């Protein structure tokens, strides 16, 4: 299903359009995921979120190529950004911002939930992106990432984090 969102258009490049991800997108997702993360999600993790009725899963496409995706899970007290990645050739074109802004617009109507995420403390680019969208640092999970025991910065936008732990 297409999603109402502004496209990113540049004269010399294919326009970027958003639609919901389906299980048929899994092979493309897996490629981007493996190029983007040291400890990539498995196909089963993606199919679990795509199939879950409460989750919001967006794909950004440049013609048939998957430029990036955003996976957001609905918990009782918050929307949790589970995974966001943009394939290297499509970075710094506003693709992640377009997906996140679209998701925030769609989920802000449900005023009962804020938004939260975890990000590596070293991921300055992503932290800058989240801060520009209203996320603020709200705590730390020490040694959260299994590959190098790096700390996770917890960020919240809107209400939180008094309601931890999250349930769904």
Catalytic residues: 118, 130
Nearer to ligand COA, 62 or 85 (CB): 85
Q: Which of 128, 147, 162, 165 binds ligand COA (CB under 6 A)?
A: 128
Cβ-based neighbour number of residue 68 at 10 Å: 25
Rounded to 5, what percent of the chain is helix, strand, coil?
30, 35, 35
Contacts to ligand COA from residues 4-43, by CB under 6 A: 36-37
Alpha carbons 101 and 6: distance in angstroms, whole number: 10
Q: Which of 22, 31, 54, 125 binds ligand COA (CB under 6 A)?
A: 125
Report if residue 74 touches ligand COA, rule: CB under 6 A. no
Q: Which of 16, 72, 84, 153 binds ligand COA (CB under 6 A)?
A: 84
Q: How many CA atoms lie within 13 A of 146 on its CB side?
A: 4
Residues in the site for ligand COA, rule: CB under 6 A?
Answer: 36-37, 84-86, 91-97, 119, 123, 125-126, 128-129
């Amino acid at each position: 299903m297409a999603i109402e969102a502004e496209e990113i258009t540049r004269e010399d490049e294919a326009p970027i359009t958003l639609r919901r991800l389906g299980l048929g997108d899994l092979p493309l997702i897996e490629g981007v995921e493996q190029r983007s993360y040291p400890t990539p999600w498995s196909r089963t993790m993606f199919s679990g979120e795509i199939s879950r009725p409460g989750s919001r899963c967006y794909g950004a496409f440049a013609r048939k190529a998957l430029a990036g995706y955003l996976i957001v899970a609905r918990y009782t007290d918050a929307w949790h950004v589970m995974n966001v990645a943009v394939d290297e050739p499509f970075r710094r074109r506003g693709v992640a911002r377009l997906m996140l802004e679209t998701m925030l617009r769609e989920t802000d109507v449900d005023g009962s939930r804020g938004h939260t995420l975890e990000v590596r403390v070293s991921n300055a680019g992503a932290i800058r992106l989240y801060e520009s969208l209203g996320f603020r640092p709200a705590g730390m999970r020490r040694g959260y990432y299994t590959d190098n025991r790096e700390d996770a910065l917890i960020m919240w936008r809107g209400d939180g984090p008094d309601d931890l732990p999250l349930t769904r």
